Amino acid sequence: MNQRNAVFPAGRHDLYTSHAYSAAIKSDDLLFVSGHVGSRSDGSPEPDFEAQVRLAFTNLEATLQAGGCKLDDIVDVTTFHTDPEKQFGTVMTVKSEVFPIAPYPNWTAVGVNWLAGFDFEIKVIARLPQAIER
């Protein structure tokens, strides 16, 4: 039977408690990471958009590390944008810094009209490194 094991980064954010969700779930050889936003430690949004995107990636990386993964272990990315037309250039700049070398992970970008006060969210699926070594 598959097991579901919750993963949380150090310095757990208030958002996990206030919205009742896990930062990530380990299941078999995969790490399913919940949507991460550019939240400060108190759960409030970073007001500057580029800084919010960078903080979302920083928060994502902390959860990946807590789950035993790195950015290179990501196989699938979904991002959510409140104003894709205006935001896409900034997101692509940050994304190219985070994933500078091919092969790149799969990526789906979705325009939405609400992200609980945030303007960008990223969720991923990563393969656990020990599963790759099998």
With respect to residue 77, please indicate whether it lies within any of the assigned structural domains.
yes
User: How many Cα atoms occupy the beta-carbon half-sphere of 126 within 13 Å?
Assistant: 27
With respect to residue 134, please indicate whether it lies within any of the assigned structural domains.
no
Give residue 93's domain range.
5-129
Q: How confident is the model at residue 134, as a pLDDT?
A: 46
With respect to residue 65, please indicate whether it lies within any of the assigned structural domains.
yes
Residue whose pair of structure tokens reads 């996990």 in the numeric block = 16
Q: Per residue of the chain (134 residues), what is the pLDDT tens digit?
A: 457 788 888 876 666 666 677 889 999 999 999 999 998 878 889 999 999 999 999 999 999 999 999 999 999 999 999 999 999 999 999 999 999 999 999 999 999 999 999 999 999 999 999 755 54
Q: How confident is the model at residue 84, as a pLDDT?
A: 96
Q: How confident is the model at residue 11, as a pLDDT?
A: 72
4 CB contacts (<8 Å, ≥6 apart)?
A: 25, 26, 27
With respect to residue 87, please indicate whether it lies within any of the assigned structural domains.
yes
With respect to residue 39, please indicate whether it lies within any of the assigned structural domains.
yes
Q: How confident is the model at residue 53, as a pLDDT?
A: 98
Q: How confident is the model at residue 48, as a pLDDT?
A: 97
Q: How far apart are the first and last CA of the chain?
A: 20
With respect to residue 105, please indicate whether it lies within any of the assigned structural domains.
yes
Look up the CATH number of the domain holding residue 114.
3.30.1330.40
Cis geometry, peptide bond prior to residue 103 (ω within 30 degrees of 0): yes
3-state percent helix, strand, coil for the chain, nearest multiple of 5:
35, 30, 35
**Count: domains in the chain:** 1
Q: Strand pairing partners for 106?
A: 76
Q: Whole-prediction pTM value? A: 0.88
With respect to residue 47, please indicate whether it lies within any of the assigned structural domains.
yes
With respect to residue 64, please indicate whether it lies within any of the assigned structural domains.
yes
